[in-house]
Structure formats: C-alpha cells, structure tokens
Amino acid sequence: MSGWEDFVKAHELQENDLLLFTCCGNSSFQVLVFEASGCERVSSMFGNQIGPDMCKHVKNIVGQHGEPDAPNTSNFIVNYSANSDDGSDDDFANSNCYYSMFANRLRDEEKEEIIGLASIQRNNPAFVTVLKKQHVQRNNNSLIIPCRFAADHLEERSQDIILRRPNRKDKWLVSYYYSCYTRCFQNLPFFKFVRDNKLREGDICVFELLKGKMRVTMTVHVIRKASDRFILVG
C-alpha cells in the first residue's frame, strides 16, 4: 500500500472532503481536513490553527463548489418516530440525535439499542460519538462535535461546558473550543474527564444536552461493547 493510501485509510477520507496542504519545507506538509460544509472533519493533528482570513477562504471554496446531494455522515441527524401500531411512548419518538462520522457507521438497530440504553430525556438533544485513540490520549486530544449539533444547540463562542455522569454528583468543567472551522472539546480538562471515568478507545459516548440549566451542561452516557452486546457503563 502506498503512503497516500495509508494516509487516506488512517484518516478515513471521503469523496468531497476538502484538504488544505501547507508546505513546511523539506517535502513535508501540514494538512487540515474539512467536510463539504466547511467544518473541520478531523481534529487538527496535522497543523496549526488557521486565522479568520483562511477560514473565509475555505468557506468561499465550499460556496463555489457547493455541497454534495448526499447527506454528510459527520453531521447526520436521525429523527426517530414511534411505531404507529403500538402507540407506545417510545424513547425515540421525538429525540434529535446527531451522529459523528464514526458513530454513523453503526447499524440502525445498534443506534436504537444505544439510545435506548442511554435513556435520554424527552426533548433533550444529544450527539453520539465513538472514542478513538486521539480522544483518550493526554496530549493533543480533541473530540470534534458534529457541526450541525453545535449550530443547532450551542452558542457561537468558546466557553466552558459542564460534563456529568448519570446518577453521580461529580462534575467536570471542560473547554469547548469554537472557531469558524471546528467545534470541539480539547486539552487537559477533557483528558481529566476521560481519565477519571476510565474511558477507552472504542467506547460509545452519548452527550445529552440538559435543557433549562444556567450553564451549558451535558450528561455523558457511556456504552461499551462486551461479548458482542452493548452494556451501559456506570
């Protein structure tokens, strides 16, 4: 396999992704990866932050070429509807659940099982993500938040957000970073949350935004696969 094929596979690049290459000299490049909407699809592991002029440039490129007709997997939204035959008060009936690129690869029945285990309160929006190595490491960690979730439910500014676990009094204040090209949790405060909760690569996290709080607060439900079945981690 060639070096380029290795790069594509490692970062799961897709058609219509926009790659920004910055030459660093000595035949090396810093790379930023953007989805079709102009939001960064992969954490900035390859380069430094870019300024507002470059953000505007990226948005102009997206505007010139337009977005693809197919839904973008990293901003995929699922609106579940109740089964009209049983008339039950189904957990998925009015939930707005957003999926990261990796989480959206789960099968529909797996998504339903995960949301069912999380027991999200009615009318609370949530996003689902699958933790990767870069999410649980101490240095250069960054958890990208689906752009559509951020646009629909979070203010357009960097701020601290409270994370909590179900049925626990502990709270973690993490840094939410907002810019024109990415929205993410990052740096040591988020690593502390990962470490304190013993999260690991492959864990599925459901971030439930709690309505009616003075400060932005999310309950994080952790689902782990063991012996081919999903279990809720307390």
For the chain (length 234 residues), average pLDDT per consecutive 10? Answer: 68 75 69 66 42 48 45 41 34 64 88 92 93 85 88 93 94 91 85 94 96 94 92 90
| Residue 198 and residue 135 in contact, taking contact as beta carbons nearer than 8 Å | no
CATH code at 73-233: 2.40.330.10
User: What residue spans define the domains of the chain?
Assistant: 3-65, 73-233
Distant-in-sequence, close-in-space partners of 23: CB < 8 Å, separation ≥ 6: 29
* Three-point CA angle 219, 222, 224, nearest 5°: 170
Place of tokens 């989805």: 35
Place of tokens 């063991």: 226
Residues in the chain: 234
Q: Which of 159, 127, 146, 143 is nearest to 191 (CA)?
A: 143
pLDDT for 104: 86
12: left (phi over 0), alpha (psi -120 to 50) or beta: left
Task: Using CA atoms of 47, 40, 183, 233 in order, give the dihedral in degrees to the nearest 10.
Answer: -100
Q: State both tokens at 131.
A: 């933790």
pLDDT for 44: 36
Q: State both tokens at 145.
A: 């938040």
* Rounded alpha-carbon distances, angstroms, from residue 173 to 43, 104, 131, 164: 21, 27, 19, 9
Q: Which of 152, 146, 132, 176 is nearest to 37 (CA)?
A: 146
Q: Which of 170, 51, 62, 147 is nearest to 101 (CA)?
A: 147
pLDDT for 198: 95
